[in-house]
Amino acid sequence: MHDSPIIAVTRRVPEAALEVLRTAGAVSLSEADRPLTPDELREQAAGATAIVSMLHDRIDGAVADAAGPSLRVVANVAVGYDNIDVAALAERGVTVTNTPGVLTEATADLTFALLLAVTRRIGEGERLLRAKRPWSFHLGFMLGAGLQGRTLGIVGLGQIGQAVARRAKAFGMEIVYSGRSKADDRVEAELGARRAGFDELLAISDVVSLHCPLTPETRHLIDADALRAMKPSAYLVNTTRGPVVHEAALAEALAHKQIAGAALDVFEHEPEVEPGLLDLDTVVLAPHLGSATVETRTEMAVLAAENVAAVLRGDPARTPVAPRS
């Protein structure tokens, strides 16, 4: 029997977060530095009072039941929490938390890096050089698309979407956005942003950037029909969740030049990538690097740990997740 609460951590986290967790209980850190199988995840959770989970961990009622009645909190080290059955955990009296805010700027930076890479053909150019293929400068060589005066369509103008819009505004882009709710008037005024319907956004945007959460309504939001609605000269950028895009449909659209290009940091069946995307020069791919700075990933893990510590000492969580109504 443990006198202290057991805190199950499903994958290695920065030492700063472990230090916080050790003040709250006995840390049980998975020895496997990889995504756990469902059986391994339930085994890791057995008897736990708290679980610190990663975005690839499916935390459902079965995992909560494996932990048993002692489970009080699941702290997801991510903003998104589509990997957690929040309703099932709420039924068992378990608090769920996430890590919003701390990764906003890093993800917006990466989004804009991908946007520039695909519109200016940076990845394609680097591959040409690394392959030691002959080239010479001329006025028609590897022409890309400029951004000044172009329209950026942001799907989901939350914290990250707003941060991306600020960067786009500095590049001279016009901003339109769509989403479930209208942004604050002050946010619209600051960004010079206009709300549009999703169909209009697709039709008028030169770049479509996705920043909506993954929900049943947004799964495959970008499908064959949506891609057909975009300009042939338009680009798609996805740094939110992979299943928001139907990858096979995207590969087909790019192969037939229905849109000009795409840049993806997340994938529908991560870590696998749709094979049809891999050989296309019009695609820029990154392995889920949106929050991948030392500072940001450390802040995320520390915030998750602080949520655990707060709940275990009887205080409200810093960033709780409410079950969807």
- Rounded to the nearest 10 degrees, the angle between the axes of helix 122-130 and helix 104-119 is 70
Is 42 strand, coil or helix? helix
Catalytic residue among 40, 188, 252, 270: 270
Known catalytic residue at 241: yes
DSSP assignment of 180-241 equals SSPPPHHHHHHHTEEE--HHHHHHH-SEEEE-PPP-TTTTT-B-HHHHHHS-TT-EEEE-S-
Residue 152 phi/psi, 5-degree rounding, is: -100, 120
CB 218 within 8 Å of CB 244: yes
Residue 209, beta-bridge partner list:
154, 237
Looking at 23-149, list the stretches that DSSP marks H as alpha helix, in order from N- to C-terminal side.
38-45, 61-67, 86-91, 104-119, 122-130
Known catalytic residue at 288: yes
CB 25 within 8 Å of CB 48: no
Catalytic residue among 121, 150, 241, 297: 241
How far is the C-alpha of 99 from the C-alpha of 212, rounded, in Å?
Answer: 16
Catalytic residue among 12, 195, 288, 318: 288
Known catalytic residues? 241, 270, 288
